[in-house]
Amino acid sequence: MSEEDIFTEALVDRLSLNLTSAHVARKMSLLYDLSVDERGAVQMGVDIDTGEPIRGKGKGFEQDILIYEKVNEAHTSIVPRIVVEVKYNHVTTHDVIVYSEKANRIRRIYPYVRYGLLLGKFKTVPGRVLRLGQEFDFICTLQHPFVDAQIQDLRQLLMDEVQVSISLGKLLTGNIKTSMVHRKLLLKGS
C-alpha cells in the first residue's frame, strides 16, 4: 500500500461524519459517461445486481474518497454527494489538470456533486493548483500526523458540502425555486 493509500485510509477512519443518510467509502466508482446505443437504450455501466457503477470499460472512474447516499428502485444505487481526490506529499501540474477534467466529466452525469482536492502533508495550497484547479469546489491541506483542529474543520466542510449537494440537486430538478444563487470564497490560513 502506498503512503497516499495509508494516509487516505487513516483519514476516512478519523472522519466519522455522523451523517445519517450518507456513507463514506474509498475506491468506489462513479459514472463519467452515459451513451445511447443504436436501439435507443441508455448504456449506463452499472452492475445489474448491485446498481453500483463499474470501474473501467469507458464508463466509470474510481474515487479516492466518495461520500454518497444509497437509493433503491432507481437505475443506480449510488447518489454521489462529494468526491475528494487525495494527493499526499506532492502534487504535479498534470495531476491537477487530470482531476479538473475528471470533475468536469463526472459533473456531466451528476451536476449536483461537489468535487474537492485534499493535499496531505502540505501546509499551503500551491499557486499552480489554484490556477489549474478551477473545477474544484474546495481545495484544502491537511498535515500528517493529523491535527485534530484540521480534522474537525474538514469534517465540517464535508458536512456543509453534503447540504450544498442536496440543495443543488433539488434546485436543478425544479424541486426548489430561488431568486438568487451566490458562491462565497473562504480563505483560511495555515
How many C-beta atoms surround the C-beta of residue 172 within 10 A? 11
The pLDDT value recorded for residue 128 is 96
Q: What percent of the chain has pLDDT over 90?
A: 69
Prediction pTM value: 0.92
pLDDT the model gives residue 150: 95
Q: How far is CA 112 from the centre of its chain?
A: 11
Contact by Cβ (8 Å): 148, 68: no
Can the peptide bond before residue 145 be classed as cis, meaning omega within 30 degrees of 0?
yes
Residue 19 has pLDDT above 80, yes or no: no
> Tens digits of per-residue pLDDT, 33-72?
888 889 988 888 888 788 888 876 657 889 999 999 999 8
pLDDT of 88-124, one tens digit each? 999 999 999 999 999 999 999 999 999 999 999 999 9
* pLDDT tops 70 at residue 129: yes
